[in-house]
Amino acid sequence: MSHYFDAAHREEIETLRQRLTARTEWPTWLLLIGVYVGWFSIVLASERLGRGWSTVLLIPLVVLWLSVQHELLHGHPTRWLALNKLLGYAPFAVWFPYTLYRNSHLLHHHDEDLTVPGRDPESRYLTAQHWQRSSVFKQALHRLNKTVLGRVMVGAPMALQALARKELRRLRAGDRQAWLMWLTHGTFTLLMLAFIARYSALPVWHYLLLISVPALSIAMIRSYYEHRPNAQPEQRTVLNEASWPWSWLFLNNNLHLVHHDLPGLPWYDLPKAYSARREQWLARSGGFLVQGYGQLWRRHGIRAIDSPQHPFH
């Protein structure tokens, strides 16, 4: 456990880890089973539900699935990486293979590289050189992506375009790992889409464009302002005191500094760890506090929160 926790704080966290809930991880197991049962139930019942209700129910379920995958790659509910990979490999969200998500996200947890373009794989900032080389149109897109409304509208397409560009380079270079990953993911995705086409009232194009893409757009609200450039790595990560349903959809990952400092702590213990030492967490973050996603919508719905150009890279 990191050196910045005093003895009392270490004991509190260790107590959380030793509880029966933490040892068995039954909330994560229940959630994992619930998402699988929910997805298949909605798809199979879509004829009776109709496209509208099926879509309304599936979008938040897919957002929740992305949060569940995030728990799996951090070692929940088991410590066996292969088993967690098996549990989380279902391509409900379509676009990001579990292995790719896991590997890039674990690199993102190198806190000294947070927000730095080219080093943090989840950075939304550009270097000065990249910014200056960008066309006026691309600069406008990046500025739009710095508003909440823009993030919902163009965040997912921009992320998918960047993903396609990067992964196509790997495939063209003959990267064996990339080929194996995409062939495996593609096979499971095609099987899922075949299941949807055969057993549901949802056309494949509807699931791809009107369920998976909107789900990704909603999921990207969490990452909209969870990091900022700062000279101190621990002051780059937000504490967002979001309420339900956001905290549920994101499995409390809105308390992002707590998660970065304690990545092994399961989702249901993050609020307990935060509330027990709220003032200390706020001090550690340098006051990087957001009082819910509503505050972001009100202040930055149509106004950029900062510049797409990294200020000191």
Give the rounded percent of residues in the chain with a pLDDT score beyond 90: 91
Check the CA dihedral 301-131-238-268 and report its sign: positive
Pairwise pLDDT comparison (236 vs 312), residue with the higher score: 236
Query: Average pLDDT for residues 164-182, to the nearest whole number?
Result: 96
Identify the band that residue 1 occupies on the pLDDT scale cut at 50, 70 and 90. Answer: very low
What is the 3 state secondary structure string of 11-76?
HHHHHHHHCHHHHHCHHHHHHHHHHHHHHHHHHHCHHHHHHHHHHHHHHHHHHHHHHHHHHHHCCC
Residues 284-302 have a mean pLDDT of 97
In this model, does residue 41 exceed pLDDT 50?
yes
132 pLDDT above the threshold of 60: yes
Mean pLDDT of the chain, nearest integer = 94
Alpha-carbon distance 288 to 269, whole Å? 21
Confidence of residue 312 (pLDDT cuts 50, 70, 90): confident
**DSSP labels, the chain:** --TTS-HHHHHHHHHHHHSHHHHH-HHHHHHHHHHHHHHHHHHHTHHHHHHHHHHHHHHHHHHHHHHHHHHHHTT-S-S-HHHHHHHH---TT-SS-HHHHHHHHHHHT-GGGTT-TTTSTT---B-HHHHHHS-HHHHHHHHHTTSHHHIIIIIHHHHHHHHHHHHHHHHHTT-HHHHHHHHHHHHHHHHHHHHHHHHSSS-HHHHIIIIIHHHHHHHHHHTTTSB---SSGGGSB-EE---TTHHHHTTTTTSHHHHHH-TTS-GGGHHHHHHHTHHHHHHHTTS-EE--HHHHHHHHSSS-SS-SB-S--
pLDDT (0 to 100) of residue 18: 62
Residue 136 pLDDT class (50, 70, 90 cuts): very high
pTM: 0.92
pLDDT, one tens digit per residue, over 213-267 is 999 999 999 999 999 999 999 999 999 999 999 999 999 999 999 999 999 999 9
Query: Please, which pLDDT band fits residue 24 given cuts at 50, 70 and 90?
Result: confident
Q: For 249-260, what is each residue's pLDDT tens digit?
A: 999 999 999 999
Q: What percent of the chain has pLDDT over 70?
A: 92
Banded pLDDT at 313 (limits 50, 70, 90): low
pLDDT classification of 95: cutoffs 50, 70, 90:
very high
